[in-house]
Amino acid sequence: MKILVHSRGAVGKTMASSGVRAYHTARVLAEQLPDARVTLSVPYEPDIPSPHPRLKIVRQRGQWGDLLQMLRHDIIVSRNFPPQAIFLLFNKLWALDFYSTFFIEWLEISKRIPHAGRRKIWTDSNRHYINFQLTIADYIVCANERQRDVLVGALATTGLLTSNVYERDRTLRKLVDVVPYGVQPGYPQHGRKVLKGVIPGIRETDTVLIWNGSIMEWFDAKTVIRAMAEIARVRHDVKLFFLGTEHPDYVTGVLETPPREAVELSRELGLYDSTVFFNIGWVPYEELGTYLGEADIGVCAGFDNAEARYAFRTRFVDLFWAELPTVCTEGDVLAERIAQEPLGLAVPPNDSSAFAQAVLRLVDDKEFYNNCKRNMAAVRDELSWDRTLKPLVEFCRNGKSIAAPKRQRLLPLLRHAIGYLQTHIRQNRIKSD
């Protein structure tokens, strides 16, 4: 059995959630399927060694090069397949890793397109692209039950959830199942000092809040910065550090609106490089534990919108790994866990005062802080990659799909591929005008 894990995100010394997920997916498949040979296909020249003898990491070579790679494998795992994959529809098993509600994220990103007509074409293109993915997939995994409900509904409305499919498995778990983003093995290694006493303005005795990851359109960094302004009026020993601004997949950076506005607000409030600090760049994956291990509290904020409803905040999982009590906004499934277990505190969106008070409670209430820290041990075990990836491992081991027959999916697949290509051509024409 030959398995190809096709990563759409960068995999290497610097990588974000998409690349990290692909890397650990390939690793676990190689470890748990002794009869399989696994290839991890990555966008750039690999600069990290393979974590397992049966796992080979190779660079992608363009769209047709990707197709040749797929041709050599039996099972292809990816978060999205290229349109030309239709040529291999009948000879492969396609496992779709929809660990995020991508269409809703793309609606948020569409704010970057000022022209309404171009924005509509881009959204139409994405809709065709999503439908193509759902139609080609023999098996789908997502990150939580809310996402699974969305996918089951989408399969029903696109005609992919037939009576025969339902009769094969009335739970539909053999068609769509949950594979949460996982916790990496081991514990954070505190190799060297990187924050306290190193960055000018952050003292050894300060309490450091860490924003783990980038600042995208669906994250509300401004509320956290305003909360820091309130905290700074009563305490001078609480600092906020944004871990990354230049995303390794080039989807955001300080020139984009959300991170740029966050920097501007911190300057406007007189907090920049005194209470609020930005890492202009991206922390290497192997150094993530060093930064998290030196921080005291994790923070993250989002908006009251559909993205939050269906999100699975991958950055929270790293905070669980480092056992960092967390302050976040309500709305997503992990925020519910943080509030209930408790692993920290969840506050209403867009409420900087509530956010500030939650931070101060974790700073001042040591008993509550330590209780949150202890509760994270169970979450670490539950979300280990070895456990979360079990449904995908079983699908690859069995090599069987209950999806609608491929001959029934061929015409809809062609229709979605043509629709995507047509809108893609229209986008390029508008750009060139």
* Residue 398 burial by Cβ neighbours in a 10 Å radius (0-12, 13-18, 19+): exposed
The set of residues, in sequence order, having a beta carbon less than 8 Å from that of 425 and lying 6+ positions away, is: none
> Which pLDDT tens digit goes with each residue over 169-195?
999 999 999 999 999 888 887 778 999
Matching CATH number, 207-383, of 3.90.320.10, 3.20.20.70, 3.40.50.2000, 3.40.50.720? 3.40.50.2000
Distance CA 49, CA 253 (A): 28
Cα(first)–Cα(last) distance of the chain, in Å? 48
The pair of structure tokens assigned to 29 is: 């498949």
The segment(s) of the chain belonging to CATH 3.40.50.2000 are: 2-182+386-432, 207-383
pLDDT for 254 equals 67
Strands 326-329 and 139-142: unpaired
The pair of structure tokens assigned to 411 is: 């015409």
| Domain with residues 2-182+386-432, CATH architecture | 3-Layer(aba) Sandwich (3.40)
pLDDT band at 393 (very low <50, low <70, confident <90, very high): very high
The set of residues, in sequence order, having a beta carbon less than 8 Å from that of 353 and lying 6+ positions away, is: 227, 230
pLDDT band at 256 (very low <50, low <70, confident <90, very high): confident
pLDDT band at 113 (very low <50, low <70, confident <90, very high): confident
pLDDT for 27 equals 98
Given its phi and psi angles, is residue 206 left (phi above 0), alpha (psi -120 to 50 degrees) or beta?
Answer: beta
pLDDT for 395 equals 98
Number of Cβ within 10 Å of residue 411's Cβ equals 10
Number of Cβ within 10 Å of residue 305's Cβ equals 15
> Which pLDDT tens digit goes with each residue over 137-178?
999 999 999 999 999 999 999 999 999 999 999 999 999 999
Percent of all residues in the chain with a pLDDT value above 90, rounded to a whole number? 81
pLDDT band at 430 (very low <50, low <70, confident <90, very high): low
CA angle 404, 408, 412 (to 5 degrees): 110
Distance CA 392, CA 78 (A): 12
pLDDT band at 2 (very low <50, low <70, confident <90, very high): very high
> Which pLDDT tens digit goes with each residue over 19-77?
999 999 999 999 999 999 999 999 999 999 999 999 999 999 888 888 999 999 999 99
Please say whether the beta carbons of 11 and 42 come within 8 A.
yes
Strand partners, 94: 76
> Which pLDDT tens digit goes with each residue over 193-226?
999 999 999 999 999 999 998 898 999 999 999 9
Is pLDDT above 60 for 432? no
For range 216-238, the mean pLDDT: 96
Distance CA 238, CA 245 (A): 21
Distance CA 319, CA 344 (A): 11
